[in-house]
């Protein structure tokens, strides 16, 4: 337990600033790149049961821009936000969409975004 506490409190790369983002990918860039989490950070958080923190780090603070705007709106309006109140969908994650498009272009069918053989943009109503 002590080792995990040390990793989380002193040796992780998690930063609080996630404002600078790439318009193309939604990933944090520039000074905000410290907000990316490493595999070891994720393993440690998963080991100690921090599922809600992982959901936030992999959703609203990562590349789910819709969840990010909902999170910030709740914090601005109420001063706090509960993770369970933030809607998250694989269709809103830029990284999953990119990976899905790469697989589809290689002729590999996945169910990352949807079960059809079309890109996310093609299946939007």
Which strand (E) or helix (H) includes residue 31? none
Q: Phi, psi (5° rounding) for residue 98?
A: -65, -45
More confident residue, 118 or 47: 47
pTM: 0.59
Residue-wise pLDDT tens digits, 46-80: 899 988 888 888 888 777 888 888 988 999 999 99
Crossing angle of the two packed helices 51-58 and 39-47, in degrees rounded to 10:
150
């Amino acid at each position: 337990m002590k080792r995990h506490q040390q990793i989380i409190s002193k040796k992780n790369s998690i930063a609080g600033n996630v404002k600078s983002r790439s318009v193309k990918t939604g990933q944090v860039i520039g000074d905000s790149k410290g907000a990316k989490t490493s595999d070891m950070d994720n393993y440690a958080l998963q080991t100690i049961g921090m599922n809600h923190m992982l959901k936030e780090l992999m959703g609203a603070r990562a590349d789910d821009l819709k969840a990010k705007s909902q999170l910030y709106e709740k914090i601005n309006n109420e001063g706090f936000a509960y993770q369970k109140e933030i809607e998250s969908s694989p269709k809103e994650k830029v990284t999953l969409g990119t990976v899905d498009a790469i697989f589809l272009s290689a002729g590999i069918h996945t169910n990352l975004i949807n079960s059809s053989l079309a890109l996310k943009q093609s299946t939007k109503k």
